[in-house]
Chains A and B, each alone.
Chain A
Amino acid sequence: MGSTVLTITSGKGGVGKTTATANIGIALAELGKKVVCIDSDIGLRNLDVVMGLENRVVYDLVNIVEGRCKARQAMIRDKRTPELYLIPAAQTRDKSAVSADDMVKICNELRPEFDWIIIDSPAGIERGFINAIAPADQILVITNPDVSAVRDADRIIGLIEAEQKGPIELIINRLDPFLVKKGDMLDADDILELLAIKLIGIVPEDEHVVISTNRGQPVVLDPKSKAGQAFKNIARRLLGEEVPFVNLEEKGDFFSKLFGRTH
């Protein structure tokens, strides 16, 4: 059984890379996989707080690169799930502290031990992004249903293709079914037509995300959350399961459930 290096990236900042990394990581671990999440946003460390592990950071990614510690020492184990680990980013350094080769080397070191190595990419199209996709076997591009996020997603997809990395799949995050219904938000079909890549999941707008992030307990741990369910479905699709797309209609009646499109 081989391991997969999965990079989550977006181009535009603030669309949900870190939230997606934390939630997909936990979901895969709950499905019995051994997972390590790597925060590659050097200087803007965030995955630790989103996962609620900020008080346990001792070493970071740059410490591993500089040989101050072993990869194993920098890993923080998430005690809520069977086999989930985090390698935090350095907070006091910048992107030049890590190279693409360093990322490839660290991932190769981790491969024998893990089923999934998930890299949270920094925003932007510069070096940090190139480093994050260098070791990737598979890439998830995340976007929101708005013009600027979709435009940046298209740019990033072009750059990933130019680096000959992939396969690439798309997560549409924060889709508001009410606004879609009113004709004031791009629908999944619109975005897929424009970007022309494969969809792996649609995460609905959900206040549970903010609340759970406040608490440091990723939303996937909340069984009532629709966003949490969507992240679980993405994890199952990553494992090759055919999971039907959940209907995001607010409250569909029998007929719209029967005839309406499902996500």
Chain B
Amino acid sequence: MTHWFSRDIRRGKSVHQAKERLKLVLIHDRTNINPETLEKLKEELLEVISRHVDIDSEKVKIKVNQSGREQKLIADIPLKTTYLHRKY
């Protein structure tokens, strides 16, 4: 019993792995976006955006989300607050 229990914790149920792996594989199959492309995209996006506005590049998140059979590129880009630098 102990053996079974610890093994389950260590490994997790195999169905979770199946689902997580499938999620990633399907996103790649459907969009042809791999982690490398996503990273490159992120860099270039940051470069363009920061030319116009101040952004908190540490907190930027870019990912592909599934919504039904559609894939969406979700970019979460926090802006730096500028009022601190303003003179009133």
Contact = CB atoms under 8 A, between A and B. Distances in A.
Query: Do chains A and B stick together as partners?
Result: yes
Interface residues of B, number: 16
Contacts of A158: 29-30
Contacts of A151: 22, 25-26, 29
Interface in B1-54: 13-16, 18-19, 21-23, 25-26, 29-30
Interface string A135-179: 000000000001100110011011001000000000000000000
A187 B22 CA distance: 13
- The interface size bin for chain A is 20 to 34
A196 B15 contact: no
Contacts of A194: 19, 22-23, 26
A183 interface: yes
A207 interface: no
A190 to B, nearest CB: 5
A186 interface: yes
Contacts of B16: 183
B29 A155 contact: yes
Interface string A58-85: 0000000000000000000000000000
- Which 7 pairs show the lowest CB-CB distances between chains A and B? A183-B13, A196-B69, A196-B68, A184-B14, A183-B15, A190-B19, A154-B26
Given A194-B22, A197-B69, A154 B13 contact: no
A187 B15 contact: yes
B65 interface: no
Interface string A186-210: 1100100011110000000000000
Contact of B30 (A147, A150, A154): A154
Contacts of B29: 151, 154-155, 158
B13 A196 contact: no
13 contacts: A147-B21, A151-B25, A151-B29, A154-B26, A154-B30, A161-B69, A180-B15, A182-B13, A183-B14, A184-B13, A194-B23, A194-B26, A196-B69
A185 B30 contact: no
Contacts of B18: 146-147, 186, 190
